[in-house]
């Protein structure tokens, strides 16, 4: 009888957030922003900037209860300026997170956090003043 090789990476437990429905977390992003006097429109603008989704595309992802992995895999275009997002979120420096999906999720968390802390949209969206 042959022994099967097991790839330990393939069998590692993936973080639960990867398979969590974006639609389940989205209301918490809005709630966090609204508690600080910000709006759903601002949350959506951040999501559009980061992922390239438009209103219709974002709504489709929410209705389909797409998980975070699919949400980012299907994103039209991750913003080319994401590397400008730096700092600590959930105890990790976002720019040092190696896993692309986890880094994108934490980028979104970081941007929503910045909104809730009162940063201007120009600073959140890394708009240069050239």
| Domains of the chain, earliest start first | 17-124 (1.10.8.290)
Q: What is the 3-state secondary structure (H, E, C) of 2-37?
A: CCCCCCHHHHCCCCHHHHCEHHHHHHHHHHHHHHCC
Per-residue pLDDT of 14-68, as tens digits, reads: 899 999 999 999 999 999 999 999 999 999 999 999 999 999 999 999 999 999 9
Given a contact cutoff of 8 angstroms between Cβ atoms, the answer to whether 100 and 21 are in contact is no
pLDDT digit string (tens) for 64-119?
999 999 999 999 999 999 999 999 998 899 999 999 999 999 999 999 999 999 99
Closest-CA residue to 50 (of 63, 61, 38, 36):
61
Question: What confidence category does residue 13 fall into, taking pLDDT thresholds of 50, 70 and 90?
Answer: confident
Alpha carbon distance 69, 101 (integer Å): 7
Q: Which residues contact 76 (CB under 8 A, 6 or more apart)?
A: 51, 52, 53, 57
């Amino acid at each position: 009888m042959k022994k099967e090789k097991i790839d330990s990476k393939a069998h590692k437990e993936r973080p639960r957030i990867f398979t969590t429905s974006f639609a389940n977390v989205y209301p918490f992003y809005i709630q966090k922003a609204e508690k600080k006097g910000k709006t759903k429109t601002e949350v959506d603008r951040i999501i559009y900037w980061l992922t390239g989704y438009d209103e219709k595309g974002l709504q489709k992802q929410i209705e389909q209860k797409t998980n975070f992995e699919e949400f980012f895999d299907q994103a039209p275009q991750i913003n080319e300026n994401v590397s400008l997002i730096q700092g600590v979120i959930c105890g990790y420096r976002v720019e040092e997170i190696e896993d692309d999906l986890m880094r994108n999720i934490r980028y979104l968390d970081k941007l929503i956090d910045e909104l809730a802390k009162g940063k201007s949209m120009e600073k959140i969206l890394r708009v240069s003043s050239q």
